[in-house]
């Protein structure tokens, strides 16, 4: 399987103005580093057996400029790459790579009806047990919001508001605990405590993990 664009030397990569993220694309045995550059594009440095290469997936498909740093993940079962970022219009955008079409872009805020604008940078992850994709971010209401995709498309949910969790003052991190079939979102609240939003059997709950960790020490 080959990539759908001609690689350029990594020496042509522009200088970064934001922080990078990285991921492995096992289907092609390649490594990928993504970052925001001075041209406000999300750029990709990718590695194969020939070494490092550079590509501009934002510019190549006229995707909106980035106002924040990106995150990336892979869906191995679909052989796809996904980069999510916040744009100047405060929407969350996806750069999507497929073997057939190369890079394209989607406005996930518009795709998931009712999703609010973002004030922070998103992160994304795959929930393989349910074959769903999840993009989480801090919105203008200070809640952590979730954009999630299943076979019917993109949806929106507010796990912070739905279970009375405290407001967020930081961007979130998220992961899946595959052995338990659970999702976990971590963020910082105003008093500096770390909060956990966790999903199991269709329901979101929250806990103050700073307090619980102290109690169990």
**pLDDT for res 10:** 53
Instruction: Check: pTM over 0.85? Answer yes or no.
Output: yes
Calpha distance 19→66 (Å, rounded): 12
What is the average pLDDT across 162-190?
97
Per-residue pLDDT tens for 177-209? 999 999 999 999 999 999 999 999 999 999 999
Q: Could you say which DSSP state residue 216 is in?
A: T
C-alpha dihedral (31, 147, 196, 167), degrees to nearest 10: 120
Residue 177, classified by CB atoms within 10 Å of its CB into exposed (0-12), middle (13-18) or buried (19+), is exposed
Q: Which residues contact 121 (CB under 8 A, 6 or more apart)?
A: 68, 69, 70, 71, 85, 86, 137, 171
Backbone angles phi, psi at 110, to 5 degrees: -75, -35
Residue range 3-32: mean pLDDT, rounded: 80
φ/ψ (deg, to 5) at 165: -75, 150
pLDDT at 8: 41
pLDDT band with cut points at 50, 70 and 90 for residue 7? very low
For 189, residues 6+ apart whose C-beta sits below 8 A from its C-beta are 166, 167, 168, 169, 195
pLDDT grade for 11, boundaries at 50, 70 and 90? low
- Which whole-number Å values give the CA distances from 208 to 37, 75, 85, in the listed order? 36, 31, 28
CB within 8 A of 136, min separation 6: which ones? 122, 123, 124, 144, 145, 146, 147, 172, 174, 185
Query: What is the rounded average pLDDT of the residues 107-113?
Result: 95
Mean pLDDT confidence for 167-172: 98
Q: What share of the chain is helix, strand, coil (3-state, %, to 5)?
A: 15, 50, 40
Predicted confidence at residue 6, as pLDDT, reads 38
32-79 pLDDT per residue, tens:
999 999 999 999 999 999 999 999 999 999 999 999 999 999 999 999
Task: Please state the domain extents for the chain.
Answer: 1-72+83-107, 112-217
């Amino acid at each position: 399987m080959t990539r759908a664009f001609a690689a350029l030397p990594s020496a042509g990569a522009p200088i970064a103005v934001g922080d990078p993220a990285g991921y492995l694309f096992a289907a092609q045995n390649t490594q990928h580093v993504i970052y925001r550059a001075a041209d406000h594009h999300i750029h990709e440095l990718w590695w194969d057996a020939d070494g490092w290469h550079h590509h501009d997936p934002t510019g190549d498909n006229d995707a909106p400029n980035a106002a924040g740093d990106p995150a990336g993940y892979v869906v191995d079962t679909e052989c796809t790459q996904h980069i999510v970022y916040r744009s100047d219009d405060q929407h969350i955008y996806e750069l999507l790579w497929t073997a057939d079409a190369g890079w394209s872009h989607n406005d996930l805020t518009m795709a998931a009806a009712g999703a609010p604008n973002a004030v922070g940078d998103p992160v994304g992850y795959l929930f393989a047990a349910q074959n769903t994709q999840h993009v989480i971010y801090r919105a203008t209401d200070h809640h952590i919001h979730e954009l999630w995709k299943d076979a019917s498309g993109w949806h929106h949910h507010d796990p912070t508001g739905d279970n009375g969790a405290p407001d967020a003052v930081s961007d979130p991190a998220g992961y899946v605990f595959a052995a338990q079939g659970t999702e976990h979102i971590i963020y910082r609240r105003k008093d500096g405590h770390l909060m956990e939003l966790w999903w199991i059997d269709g329901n979101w709950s929250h806990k103050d993990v700073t307090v619980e960790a102290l109690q169990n020490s």
